[in-house]
Amino acid sequence: MTKQQLITDEYAIYNSDCMEILPTLKDESIDLSVYSPPFANLYTYSSSERDMSNCDSTKDFLIQYEYLVKEMARVTKPGRVNCIHITDLIDIKGTLEDFPHEIIKLHKKHGFLFKNRITVWKEPLKVRIRTMVQSLMHKYIMEDATKCFPANPDYILIFKKKGETKIPVTHQFGIDEYFGDIPILPNMLKAWNNANNTNLDADELWEYLKKVNEDDKVTKLNHYIWQRYASGVWDDIRDNNVLPFRDSREEDDEKHITPTQLDVIDRCVSLWSNPGEVVLTPFMGVGSEVYSPLSLGRKAIGIELKDSYYKQAIINLDHAKSRFKNKKNQLEIF
């Protein structure tokens, strides 16, 4: 049952169970999907019986999640990409369950090619504060280091649906917008200054390359950005670059949930979709995976089960089209 919906020329969002909305979408109608599936932990997001995370075990969750993967395979255009934001399941003692492996198996089963796993670096102290996992406690380094293990990163699993791409995703001169904290690495800066007999700092080089890029041809800036995006580790994703979400939390929320960082979504949208194409998220949350495509000139479809998240998404989407208004560039914090 769809409780609420808002449909415009640029986006459609639904306050509903994604498995009620997805079957209504046309075959091969989606150009890109970006989303974080609910994790297989009972009552992580809500107590609703329709919440896919409300399962007694990972095995039960995967049975439910497979229905979604089948639908995603049906609605995705041949040759196009699904980006799944995921991590390993972890208990309070720091013991891991290889959740990404299970997600990969399901997608391969239903017609997707597993193309890449991008690691999103996380600052260990922030992970410790957020999760309270014991294996990150400093006292164990002194007492017994066999109880200590590194902070768990996030992953972006990149899947491509089998088949020929009818409309390629093109970047005529490469990419000239960077989403992240550190576009120019020290080795890049050093190589530039040595080759050009200059003494620029990173900010000065970025501004210079931006001006050069206005000539509408491939520049060093385009190569630098691709070099950063092409890394298998995204190490400069800004933790605080997220949409407002705190007002959407309810008393029965079990855990402190934060939206996916916009840098992650922006990179996926800009890399694997063309302007004007349709981006889908079956787990919209407070609207991040709809907000980002809209602000980057795409269209979007979002589905969210939880009422409070849906209401917050409406508020957030009101600002999507003005996201970059009066901004010098996308390097600024929003």
Domains of the chain, first to last: 4-120+153-181+236-322 (3.40.50.150)
Determine the pLDDT at residue 95. 81
Determine the pLDDT at residue 42. 43
In the chain, alpha helices (H): 18-21, 58-75, 99-109, 124-131, 139-143, 186-196, 202-213, 220-229, 262-272, 288-295, 307-317
Spacing of C-alpha 116 from chain mean position:
14
CB atoms within 10 A of CB 303: 26
DSSP bridge pairs for 11: 300
Determine the pLDDT at residue 329. 45
Determine the pLDDT at residue 331. 42
Determine the pLDDT at residue 257. 63
Determine the pLDDT at residue 111. 97
Planar angle of CA 258, 264, 267, nearest 5 degrees = 155
CB 117 within 8 A of CB 155: yes
- Rounded CA-CA distance 213/141 in Å is 49
- Rounded CA-CA distance 175/124 in Å is 31
CB 83 within 8 A of CB 157: yes
pLDDT tens digits for the chain (334 residues)?
889 999 999 999 999 999 999 999 999 999 999 999 987 664 455 666 667 767 777 888 898 999 999 999 999 999 999 999 999 987 766 788 899 999 999 999 999 999 999 999 999 988 888 778 888 888 988 999 998 888 889 999 999 999 999 999 999 989 989 999 999 999 999 999 999 999 999 999 999 998 887 777 888 899 999 999 999 999 999 999 999 875 555 555 545 467 899 999 999 999 999 999 999 999 999 999 999 999 999 999 999 999 999 999 999 999 999 998 866 444 443 3
Interacting residues of 332 by C-beta distance below 8 A, sequence separation 6+: none
Determine the pLDDT at residue 334. 33
Determine the pLDDT at residue 129. 83
